[in-house]
Amino acid sequence: LAKTTQPISMDSYEGQEVNITCSHNNIATNDYITWYQQFPSQGPRFIIQGYKTKVTNEVASLFIPADRKSSTLSLPRVSLSDTAVYYCLVGDRGMDSNYQLIWGAGTKLIIKP
Amino acid sequence: DTGVSQDPRHKITKRGQNVTFRCDPISEHNRLYWYRQTLGQGPEFLTYFQNEAQLEKSRLLSDRFSAERPKGSFSTLEIQRTEQGDSAMYLCASSPQLTGEPKHEAFFGQGTRLTVV
């Protein structure tokens, strides 16, 4: 069963760039890597998704090396409102072909003034 | 508001009772997911639908849990004979992905917080 591993927590300061790395050694060949953000008492919110190399949108960048066994979410110039839990998501098709979505434990990011 | 809607937002029930939650996805979204989340943990996948077909179900899911999406629109999640361990946030999400697409961009509702006493 594919599994993701992320740091439990990180902290940084306003205006800094933050990089959160997720390892997913058993990612399926055709699966995407997706990152979500979650604030307390709210559902997760999609941030970014990629398959390989680099993807950038208006809020973040996602770096994926050639072996795809890890990915790094990069948040440029963070603000206090970026304090949240960030989840890395990959899928997995087990030996019985039962496909499941596997979420990491999440990284609690705290931004300080 | 055209986002994913869940009802109720909060539910307190006695152990042994049955509960049912409703999820209204974003209109025209093909996929609908159910997750469970406990405090300090990431969401745990329960099941997902592609239109009205339930395509996958967590191998860890108890047979007390059942979900339906009768017309490919709204969905219900029922828990029978609730136990204290069922206390959690139940999240619904929908996405426009098609069958076979391994992408996971989904839009989540606010969740239903279940407390079993």
Question: What is the C-alpha to C-alpha distance for residues A87 and B43, in angstroms, rounded to an integer?
Answer: 9
Q: What's the pLDDT score for residue B101?
A: 62
Q: Quick one: pLDDT at residue B32?
A: 92
What local confidence, expressed as pLDDT, does residue A27 receive?
85
Beta strands in B41-87 (DSSP E): 44-50, 53-57, 65-68, 75-79
CA B78 from centroid of its chain's CA atoms: 9
Give the closest-approach CA distance of B36 to chain A in angstroms: 11
Residue pLDDT, tens place only, A17-31 = 999 999 988 888 888
Most confident of A29-38, A66-75, A89-98: A66-75
- Under-50 pLDDT residues of chain B: none
Higher pLDDT, A1 or A91: A91
Q: Is B104 left (phi over 0), alpha (psi -120 to 50) or beta?
A: alpha
Q: Which of B17, B91, B64, B102 has its CA nearest to residue A101?
A: B102
Q: Are the C-beta atoms of A52 and A36 separated by less than 8 Å?
A: no
Shortest distance, CA B35 to any CA of chain A (angstroms): 10
In angstroms, the CA B25 to CA B48 distance is 12
Q: CB atoms < 10 A from the CB of A97, how many?
A: 7
- Of all residues in chain A, the one with the smallest CA distance to B6 is A43
A28:B102 CB<8 A: yes
Q: Which helix (H) or strand (E) segment is A68 a member of? A: none
Is pLDDT of A47 > 90?
yes
Residue count (chain A): 113
Residue A96: pLDDT over 70: no
Q: Name the residue among A59, A81, A72 with its Cα closest to residue A33.
A: A72
Residue A94 pLDDT: 52
Put simply, the answer to whether B102 touches A32 (Cβ < 8 Å) is yes
Cβ B102–A43 below 8 Å, yes or no?
no
Closest CA–CA distance from residue A100 to any residue of chain B (Å)? 7
Identify which of B56, B103, B108 has the shortest CB distance to residue A98: B56
Query: Residue A100 — very low, low, confident or very high, per pLDDT cuts 50/70/90?
Result: low
Can you tell me the mean pLDDT for A55-73? 95
